[in-house]
Amino acid sequence: MNELLQILENNSRISHEALARMLDKEVGDIKKMIEDYEREGVILGYKTMIDWDKTDKEYVSALIELKITPQMGKGYEQVAQKIIGYTEVESLYLMSGSFDLAVLIEGKTMREVAFFVAEKLATIEDVVATSTHFVLRKYKDKSIIFGAAPVDERGHIF
């Protein structure tokens, strides 16, 4: 059922009891549905959106475009598999358009990111070009807008 997934995608902390009431189901049904989704790999995990800029963490993130010459019979898979394992890599997408793989990475400093690209990504066989774009500011991620928490400004009328 999509509605359960929609709710969880926006807020995975809602209790089973609350979900059951919201969707007019039994608590046991909700638990089972979630377990099934987890087992089938529909639900892959639960994470927290953190605005790290509001903490003292020093970090930079970057989007790296990679151009690839795919190997006969192996497509982009082989290259993707080589990149996927690095803990620095936050996201990896195969793209249409003027480049092939988009790699989102995070590092402590620009220098660290630059070295990672030069040493780990550019050196992979079949990677023919890289282009690194540093993220200057995050405005919105996964539908969440960064900034101050909204205040209820509705006036009292009736």
Partner 1 sequence: MDYGKIIPEKVSSLKPSGIRKFFELVQGSKDTVSLTIGEPDFITPWHIRVAGIDSLERGKTYYTSNSGTTELRQAISEYLSRRFSLSYDPLSEIIVTVGGSEAIDLTMRAMVAPGDEVIIPQPSFVCYEPICRLCGGVPVIINTKEENQFKLTAGELRAAITDKTKLLVLPFPNNPTGAIMEKADLEAVAEVLRGTDIMVLSDEIYGELTYDADHVSAASVDGMRERTVLASGFSKAYAMTGWRLGYIAAPAEIAPQLLKIHQFAIMCAPTTSQFAAVEAMRNGDTDVEMMRREYNRRRRYLVGGLRAMGIDCYMPRGAFYVFPNISQFGMSSEQFCQRLLREQGVAIVPGNAFGESGEGFARISYAYSVEHISLALDRIEAFVKSLS
Q: Which of residues 3, 35, 36, 53 is near partner 1 by CB under 8 A?
A: 3
Q: Residues 133 to 152: which contact partner 1 by CB under 8 A?
A: 152
The residue within the footprint of partner 1, chosen from 1, 12, 21, 52 (CB under 8 A), is 21
Please give the biggest Cα pair distance in the chain.
Answer: 70
Q: Does 157 bind partner 1 (CB under 8 A)?
A: yes
Closer residue to partner 1 (CB): 23 or 63 = 23
Three-state SS string over 129-143 comes to EEEEEECCCCCEECC
Counting contacts by CB under 8 A, is residue 72 touching partner 1?
A: no
39 binds partner 1 (CB under 8 A): no
Beta-bridge partners for 91? 104
Q: Does 44 bind partner 1 (CB under 8 A)?
A: no
Shortest Å, Cβ 154 to partner 1: 5
78, amino acid identity:
Q
- Give the binding range for partner 1 (CB under 8 A) out of 19-27, 37-45, 79-87, 98-106: 19-27
Distance CA 17, CA 70 (A): 49
CA separation for the pair 143, 27 (Å, rounded): 28
Instruction: Identify the bridge partners of residue 64 per DSSP, sorted by sequence position.
Output: 103, 132
